[in-house]
């Protein structure tokens, strides 16, 4: 199966993410650590859900969320906001992340060698990840860990102890 090792890592990140989410106070989920440029748990989970569904679409399957609306709020280049108005609820964010993760794992077997060999559809990252396969590999491993690290830092700033 293509991306087998990355899927093993991706499943680990989901378990780690679930652990990080254990003590997130829903009332504070939209609170940023500092000013502009920092990300709060709501943005992080919305962003990871959006990316999971982007992967699902890249595998030739149907997204489970409105990619345009979610992309405007949580996509590449978007910013966290302290305001939950107009966006999905915390429960919707978590459900979309979990369901997106599960859909990626369920559909990764459908990705073809031709898809993986194609040029990376995100031109801005094509210099680092020339092919779709390299880009998908990054999204399943490094990208998820990067944003879960932000969630870990947010938790610590809220007085939670590190998980490891």
pLDDT at 98 over 70: yes
Say what the pLDDT of residue 34 is: 65
Average pLDDT over the chain reads 90
Say what the pLDDT of residue 65 is: 96
Say what the pLDDT of residue 117 is: 96
Say what the pLDDT of residue 24 is: 86
Contact 163, 20 (CB under 8 A): yes
Where does the pLDDT of residue 79 fall: very low under 50, low under 70, confident under 90, or very high at 90 and above?
confident
Say what the pLDDT of residue 2 is: 78
Say what the pLDDT of residue 75 is: 93
Where does the pLDDT of residue 72 fall: very low under 50, low under 70, confident under 90, or very high at 90 and above?
very high
Say what the pLDDT of residue 1 is: 60
107-159 residue pLDDT tens: 988 889 999 999 999 899 999 999 999 999 999 999 999 999 999 988 888 88
Q: Lowest-pLDDT range, 74-78, 100-104, 128-132?
A: 74-78
Say what the pLDDT of residue 149 is: 93
Phi, then psi, of 119 in degrees rounded to 5? -60, 145
pLDDT at 161 over 80: yes
* Mean local confidence (pLDDT), 69-89: 85
Using left for φ > 0, alpha for ψ between -120 and 50, and beta otherwise, residue 24 falls in beta
Say what the pLDDT of residue 36 is: 63
């Amino acid at each position: 199966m293509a991306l087998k090792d990355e899927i093993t890592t991706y499943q680990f990140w989901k378990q780690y993410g679930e652990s990080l989410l254990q003590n997130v106070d829903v009332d504070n989920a939209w609170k940023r650590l500092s000013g502009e440029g920092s990300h709060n748990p709501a943005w992080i989970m919305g962003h990871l859900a959006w990316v999971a569904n982007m992967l699902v679409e890249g595998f030739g399957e149907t997204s489970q969320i409105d990619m345009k609306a979610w992309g405007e709020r949580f996509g590449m280049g978007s910013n966290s906001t302290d305001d939950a108005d107009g966006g999905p609820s915390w429960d919707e964010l978590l459900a979309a992340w979990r369901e997106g993760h599960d859909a990626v794992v369920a559909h990764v077997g459908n990705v073809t060698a031709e898809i993986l060999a194609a040029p990376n559809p995100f031109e801005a990252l094509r210099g680092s990840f020339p092919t779709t396969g390299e880009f998908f590999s990054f999204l399943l491993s490094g990208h998820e860990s990067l944003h879960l690290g932000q969630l870990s830092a947010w938790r610590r700033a809220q007085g939670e102890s590190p998980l490891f």
